[in-house]
Amino acid sequence: MKVMCAMSGGVDSSVAALLLRDAGHGVVGVTMKLWGGDSDTGCCSVSDVDDARRVAQQLGIDHLVFNFGDDFDEHVVGPYVDAHARGITPNPCIECNRSVKFARLAERAELLGFDAVATGHHANVGRTPDGRWTLERGDDPAKDQSYVLHMLDQHQLATTLFPVGGMQKSRVRELAASIDLRTAGKPDSQDVCFITSTGGRVSFLGERIPFHRGTVVDTAGTKLGDVESVELVTVGQRKGIGLPGGGPKRYVLDVDTTARVVTVGADAELLRPGVTVRAVTWVDDPCRGAALVQSSAHGVAQPARLEPSGSGDVDVVFDSPQRRIAPGQSVVFYDTSDTRVLGGGIAV
């Protein structure tokens, strides 16, 4: 089989290419050039591209670089900036997977005659007895990345491979070290690739949108303080919201960038019976009824009921109240065994 392997310059994608090569597939490594600005984190730095190229040389496979910078700006960076301006907390890595890695890259692979696209994600693709494709958690619970892949559908899963999904991360590193791959000991990427560790969100967003001072109030509307930049505040936040120390712990309950008001309250006031999820996609057919619902990449999935509406939204009703999910964050549905992804969308 002819496989295009996305190589980010990390150990997982390096070993994915190794496994595919050793399985006898015709493998070509591809690194996507996504972000043209400063980058010292994530998977978009110049050194990452060089690491991917050097690993491909070690493996004896061809290596290509595709420039998807325009797509990245349009579908990931632009929406990220706009979301913050509206007081919404986006998840850019998921949007990158949706619009670039499993859209533009797959499109390019098909155009060039590849049979499949492979990545180093810790997830698994399965098949039901009647031939339907499934997206399942990776075998290493600590590294499972099925949450950030929930948008994949039947068509995409049919031509997607996750070679390291059935492995523990320790074994991935062992394999890389066994043939002296330069990425064997490289730390995992943890941050948004276009946000530098030195400047952070403040520097990045400050160059693109105006910041506005906001008023911090309690649920009764009583002013408690001021926050320097309402655009940088997110639901659930406790620190950096302009309140003096020594008082009761208060958390952000709501952010209104139009009115420039941040409402805070006690931790218990964050509890909600459910959440409405928009822009929902399904791995297979739409589901309703009992499910497990996860609202962060490494969060614990909570029991709930899914109640799809005629508009395509899904109302999630938790079995017990949960902390409010920040608008803009991805909400992912799993089956009741907590192994198979059903679908997901974005919290309202």
User: Strand, helix or coil at 250?
Assistant: coil
CA–CA distance, 191 with 14 (Å, rounded to integer): 19
- Give the distance from CA 321 to its chain's centroid: 24
In this structure, the number of other CB atoms found within 10 A of the CB of residue 152 comes to: 23
Q: Which residue among 5, 44, 96, 287 is the active-site one?
A: 96
In this structure, the number of other CB atoms found within 10 A of the CB of residue 51 comes to: 24
Task: Tell me if residue 287 is catalytic.
Answer: no
CA–CA distance, 80 with 91 (Å, rounded to integer): 8
Q: Which of 153, 215, 119, 192 is nearest to 341 (CA)?
A: 153
- Give whole-number Cα distances, 155 to 132, 133, 331, in Å: 10, 9, 22
Backbone angles phi, psi at 36, to 5 degrees: -95, -5
Which helix or strand (DSSP H or E) is residue 106 part of? Answer: helix 105-111
Task: Tell me if residue 44 is catalytic.
Answer: no
Q: Which residue among 43, 44, 93, 193 is the active-site one?
A: 193
Q: Any idea which residue has 């984190």 for tokens?
A: 41
Judge residue 297's burial from the number of C-beta atoms within 10 Å of its C-beta, 0-12 exposed, 13-18 middle, 19 or more buried: middle
Tokens (6 digits) for 239: 């620190």
Question: Given the DSSP bridges, would you call strands 62-67 and 26-33 parallel, antiparallel or unpaired?
Answer: parallel
CA–CA distance, 326 with 88 (Å, rounded to integer): 7
- Spatial strand order in the sheet of 261-265: 223-227, 214-217, 261-265, 251-256
Q: Which of 139, 169, 156 is nearest to 339 (CA)?
A: 139
Positions annotated as catalytic residues are: 96, 193
